[in-house]
């Protein structure tokens, strides 16, 4: 694997970690009411991930099931990053 591939793989891994942190912090905000450090961390994770998720959300809007909304854009971006990282690391 080339140095560029290794660097790109590392960047994609860090983005995956930020996506997972966003998921956890969103659930913490829903279940615990948010506030304090969680609110600040949530703003940071949203600032990093939203530029990639927002365009996908325009194509894949959230699905409402009763009072629950499932964000398909987040799922699509997460799976896309997984696949892209797998492709980069297999080269």
pLDDT of res. 45? 94
Residue ranges making up the domain that contains 80: 3-90
How many folded domains does the chain comprise? 1
Residue 12, pLDDT > 70, answer yes
pLDDT in tens, 17-74: 999 999 999 888 777 776 678 788 899 999 999 999 999 999 999 899 998 888 899 9
Kindly report the pTM of this predicted structure: 0.86
Is residue 19 packed enough to be buried (19+ CB in 10 Å), middle (13-18) or exposed (0-12)?
Answer: buried
Residue of higher predicted confidence among 1 and 2: 2
pLDDT of res. 20? 96
Helices 72-90 and 3-32: angle between axes, nearest 10 degrees? 160
- d(CA 46, CA 26) in angstroms, rounded, equals 10
Residue of higher predicted confidence among 2 and 87: 87
Give the residue from 73, 60, 74 showing the smallest Cα distance to 18. 74
């Amino acid at each position: 694997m080339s140095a560029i591939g290794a660097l790109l793989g590392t960047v994609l891994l860090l983005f995956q970690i930020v996506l997972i942190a966003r998921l956890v912090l969103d659930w913490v905000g829903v279940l615990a009411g948010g506030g304090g450090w969680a609110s600040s961390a949530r703003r940071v994770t949203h600032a990093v991930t939203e530029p990639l998720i927002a365009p996908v959300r325009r194509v894949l809007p959230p699905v409402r099931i009763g009072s629950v909304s499932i964000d398909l854009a987040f799922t699509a971006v997460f799976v896309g990053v997984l696949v892209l990282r797998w492709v980069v690391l297999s080269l």
